[in-house]
């Protein structure tokens, strides 16, 4: 099973600042990695797939990078609606499909 | 517009059974791999099971294998999860989600709103 590790667990950022979230895989997942955003009481929303491709209607301030075992989600200028929990997920080696433990982005 | 709507959650005693349903609309259901993902209260996301469009391939997490059964009815655009021998650790919100890679296993591009399953005596 591929273990996905996200860091940090919590990220405190001021509105307008850049946020950088990390996701590490225990073995290579090539570019088969997705990022999700989840707000309290809501279902997750797909942000990025294929490590760097934005999903439909996702703003350009969200970008993904990386391949192999190291991945990054960058939010270039945090808006109030971006404060949420973010998860990465690998779909290269399955079953099982696996998620990271999440990074909570909170207001500083 | 793609829509997924889960139903069937509720309170059940340990050892009991429950059947979840997911009604899909707005896309070619029979061509899509469908999935169940769960989230225990205050915890992260856990993949549960996947079924390809033609029912040819079915996959389960080890934590539910032998107890849960995924199925689909393409004529009714519906996905199901039969959950037997439920345990307290199965308590979670269960989401139905579509694979973003169409017929293949991949990311989850659309999610339902979730249905809460509580296993407690």
Show pLDDT as tens, one digit a residue, over chain A (108 residues): 999 999 999 999 999 999 999 999 999 999 999 999 999 999 999 999 999 999 999 999 999 999 999 999 999 999 999 999 999 999 999 999 999 999 999 998
Burial of A14 (0-12, 13-18, 19+ CB in 10 A): exposed
**pLDDT (0 to 100) of residue A100:** 98
Residue with tokens 């982005």: A105
- d(Cα B67, Cα B57) in Å, to the nearest integer? 17
Q: What are phi and psi of B31, to 5 degrees?
A: -95, -5
Does residue A96 contact residue A1 with C-beta atoms inside 8 Å? Answer: yes
Torsion on CA atoms B25, B29, B35, B37, rounded to nearest 10:
-10
Chain B residue numbers with beta carbons less than 8 Å from the beta carbon of A99 are 44-47
Nearest to A88 by CA among A43, A39, A41, A46: A46
CA B40 to chain A, closest CA, distance in angstroms equals: 12
Minimum-distance CB partner of B47 among A45, A49, A96: A96
Asked if B106 has any chain A CB less than 8 Å from its own CB, the reply is yes
Compute the nearest-CA separation of B46 from chain A (Å).
7
Residue tagged 């308590």 (tokens): B91
Cα dihedral A90, A93, A97, A98 sign? negative
Asked if the model's pLDDT at residue B102 lies above 80, the reply is: no
Taking the CA of residue B74 and the nearest CA in chain A, the distance in Å comes to 23
The residue behind tokens 């075992």 is A69
Residue B43 has pLDDT above 80, yes or no: yes
Q: Give the per-residue pLDDT at B54.
A: 77
A-chain CB neighbours of B35 within 8 Å are 97
* B50 CB within 8 Å of a chain A CB: yes
B77 touches B28 (CB < 8 A): no
């Amino acid at each position: 099973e591929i273990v996905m590790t996200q860091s940090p667990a919590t990220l405190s950022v001021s509105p307008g600042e850049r946020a950088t979230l990390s996701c590490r895989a225990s073995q290579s997942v090539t570019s088969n990695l997705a990022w999700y955003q989840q707000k309290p009481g809501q279902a997750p929303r797909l942000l990025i797939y294929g490590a760097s491709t934005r999903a439909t209607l996702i703003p350009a301030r969200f970008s993904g990078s990386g391949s192999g075992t190291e991945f990054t989600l960058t939010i270039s200028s945090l808006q109030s609606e971006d404060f949420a929990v973010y998860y990465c997920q690998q779909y290269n080696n399955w079953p099982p499909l696996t998620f990271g433990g999440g990074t909570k982005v909170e207001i500083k | 517009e793609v829509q997924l709507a889960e139903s069937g959650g509720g309170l059940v005693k340990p050892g009991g059974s429950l059947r979840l349903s997911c009604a899909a609309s707005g896309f070619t259901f029979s061509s899509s791999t469908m999935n169940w993902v769960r989230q225990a209260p205050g915890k992260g996301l856990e993949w549960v099971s996947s079924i390809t469009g033609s029912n040819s391939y079915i996959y389960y997490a080890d934590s539910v294998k032998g107890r849960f059964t995924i199925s689909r009815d393409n004529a009714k655009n519906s996905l199901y999860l039969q959950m037997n021998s439920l345990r307290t650790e199965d308590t979670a919100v269960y989401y139905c989600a579509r694979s973003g890679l169409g017929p293949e296993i991949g990311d989850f591009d659309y999610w339902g709103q979730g249905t809460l399953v509580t296993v407690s005596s």
